[in-house]
A and B are shown apart, each in its own frame.
Chain A
Amino acid sequence: MSNPRPATIVMLNEIAFYLTAALVLIFAIAAMTLPRLVHCAVCAAGAFASLALIYLELDAEFVAFAQLLVYVGAIAILIVFAILLTNLQEADPQVRRASRSWVVGVAVAAILLAALGLPIITTPLLQRAAPAATAAPVRDIGEKLMTTYVLPLEMIGVLLTSALLGAVVIAMREEPEVKTKVTRPTTPALERQEELTPR
């Protein structure tokens, strides 16, 4: 910081960082370990929302609100809908929720954490103070999007359109196959009824 700030504000910044970081990690661990799927989805939404708080602390307001809109508003809701559409009968917590070799997975994750964390902590390259707070005004972001980044923006539009169409096509009911599968269990009962009704 170029201008000296009061000690209380610096301390509040630190407290806010540790609070939001703890929130992110607690929500993330809960989302990965809880047995009920709906709880997982809600905790994931909590983790996304607390990450938006961290973006706010990093002076990236536009990204924070985009995160809230897209992740909490759209992706979490999509996940909840997918849970509702698929897991009505598998929702009981008796179903084994981790794979048999989960110890290996957790060990690999711990090795990964060590491999990422040790260099981050020990390197001297990162010991630098933050530059003075530079806001990223929405006006600048909009100008960049319309000038420098206009080609990626258009491609994102194409990608989102095709992904939307693709998701609809994939999730759409395939009439002939599904009809046989869905109606097969009910046909004996129907036939029996048809047999019964004339008599």
Chain B
Amino acid sequence: MTSMDVSATSMDVSATISVNGRSHEIDCQPGATLLEVLRTSLGLTGTKFGCGIGYCGACTVLVDGAAAHSCCLLAATMQGREITTIEGVSGDGPDPSLGVISEAFLEAGAVQCGYCTPGFVVAIEALLAENPDPSEAEVRRYLTGNICRCSGFAAIVRAALRAGGRR
């Protein structure tokens, strides 16, 4: 991520945001995105900065359970919403450090450079919450909001289908 200043200034706004079930008091610039606050103020670096304009999905988080590009949301407007990051969707699989979807990514060989992986895992979490056993077409349509720059989409779709079958 490029240099940025989300430290306190006189223009700062304060907000209480809830991330992965924990409440945080934050002070940030009015223009600070949710992504910046997650990574810089809260140290939750699993959420990645990719394009910064809501296109690539590396920054995908859940807001009240719905997939969202955290680079396109102002942190101060997230008061009262429940944010879930990749750190919050881990831990429900056989390996306590991984979730069911991350396990499926390993098994399907769906990780190349890995930079897009957290965003895909979070997006698939949202997909499976509303559609526990999606078809391949449904997976592909839903993942419109995530780009794998290594172009490893086929394995990612297989991982999503594998995870879906297990819910």
Bound pair (A, B): no
